[in-house]
């Protein structure tokens, strides 16, 4: 069989609920296929962090007009970090990879991502990044809005309690003192917000394949993925 790296490159769209391991899954796919990985969730988190740093979010309250006024000055880029074997995200030249993962950002990102002007800016940037195919992009509306014609669409889900434990372990490993109950509440609230927002709500594309990874290892997920990839590229 022809090796995957010699096949015609495609666009792989991965959507799903928060803390399902979409980025880990997408990053591993990109590494195995020699594709470019783009973490769109990190892009929305980066805008949220910028809003927090520049007074557009105060005490959890979002100033819609102020955030819109800041959008033109936000520059987002990804740069490969050889120490991590993955790309870090930068805002206006500053590496913010760690800061965008805090619970403060998590609590505000759904409100930021529901703003039409934010989504318009980032969707255009994402489409430009994926113009030449050979990419794996994960987020909430990749298969429905950003790349509706993607050759392979995957919708990821997992039990909220499982997702909360994964997120809790990740943050604790970084030395953060966090509450498991608070994380699970945040995840459930984000699920509701993502599915019910007026603009680009989270939904499974009609032609997406569902992956419930509640009880799957990364390697098991990759075995499943390679079967799907072979199916659409043969």
Q: What is the CATH number of domain 9-233?
A: 3.40.50.300
Q: Are 57 and 102 in contact (CB under 8 A)?
A: no
User: In b/e form, how buried is each residue of 161-181, taking b as 16+ CB within 10 angstroms?
Assistant: ebbbebbbebbeeeeeebeee
Q: What is the structure's pLDDT at 215?
A: 94
Q: What is the pLDDT of residues 131-140, one digit of tens each?
A: 889 999 998 8
Q: What is the structure's pLDDT at 84?
A: 78
Which of these ranges, 77-86, 91-100, 155-164, 183-192, has the smallest mean pLDDT? 77-86
- Portion of the chain with pLDDT greater than 90, in percent: 71
Q: Which residue carries 């809005």 as its tokens?
A: 145
pTM of the model: 0.77
For residue 106 the two structure tokens come to 């998590």
What residue spans define the domains of the chain? 9-233
- 209 or 39, greater pLDDT: 209
Q: What is the structure's pLDDT at 2?
A: 42
> In the predicted model, what is the mean pLDDT of residues 148-164?
96
Tell me the residue length of the chain. Answer: 234
Cα–Cα distance measured from residue 138 to residue 72, given in angstroms and rounded to the nearest whole number: 24
Res 123 pLDDT > 80: yes
- Paired with 95 in beta bridges are 90
- 83 or 128, greater pLDDT: 128
Q: What is the pLDDT of residues 33-52, one digit of tens each?
A: 989 888 898 999 999 999 99
Identify the CA nearest to 26 among candidates 112, 155, 149, 170: 155
Res 118 pLDDT > 50: yes
For residue 188 the two structure tokens come to 């459930």
Cα–Cα distance measured from residue 24 to residue 37, given in angstroms and rounded to the nearest whole number: 10
Which of these ranges, 77-91, 92-106, 219-233, has the smallest mean pLDDT? 77-91
């Amino acid at each position: 069989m022809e090796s995957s790296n010699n096949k015609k490159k495609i666009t792989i769209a991965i959507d799903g609920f928060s803390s399902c391991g979409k980025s880990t899954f997408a990053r591993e796919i990109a590494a195995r296929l020699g594709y470019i990985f783009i973490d769109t969730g990190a892009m929305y988190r980066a805008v949220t962090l910028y809003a927090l740093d520049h007074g557009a979010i105060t005490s959890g309250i979002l100033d819609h007009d102020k955030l819109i006024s800041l959008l033109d000055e936000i520059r987002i880029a990804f740069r490969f970090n050889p120490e991590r074997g993955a790309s870090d995200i930068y805002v206006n030249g500053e590496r913010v990879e760690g800061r965008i993962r805090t619970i403060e950002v998590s609590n505000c990102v759904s409100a930021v991502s529901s703003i039409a002007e934010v989504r318009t800016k980032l969707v255009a940037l994402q489409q430009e990044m994926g113009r030449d195919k050979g990419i794996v992009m994960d987020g909430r509306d990749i298969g429905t809005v950003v790349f509706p014609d993607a050759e392979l669409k995957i919708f990821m889900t997992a039990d909220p309690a499982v997702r909360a434990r994964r997120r809790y372990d990740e943050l604790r490993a970084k030395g953060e003192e966090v509450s498991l109950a608070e994380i699970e509440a945040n995840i459930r609230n984000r699920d509701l917000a993502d599915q019910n927002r007026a603009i680009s709500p989270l939904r499974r594309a009609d032609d997406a394949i569902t992956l419930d990874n509640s009880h799957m290892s990364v390697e098991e997920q990759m075995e499943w993925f390679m079967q799907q990839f072979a199916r659409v590229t043969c």
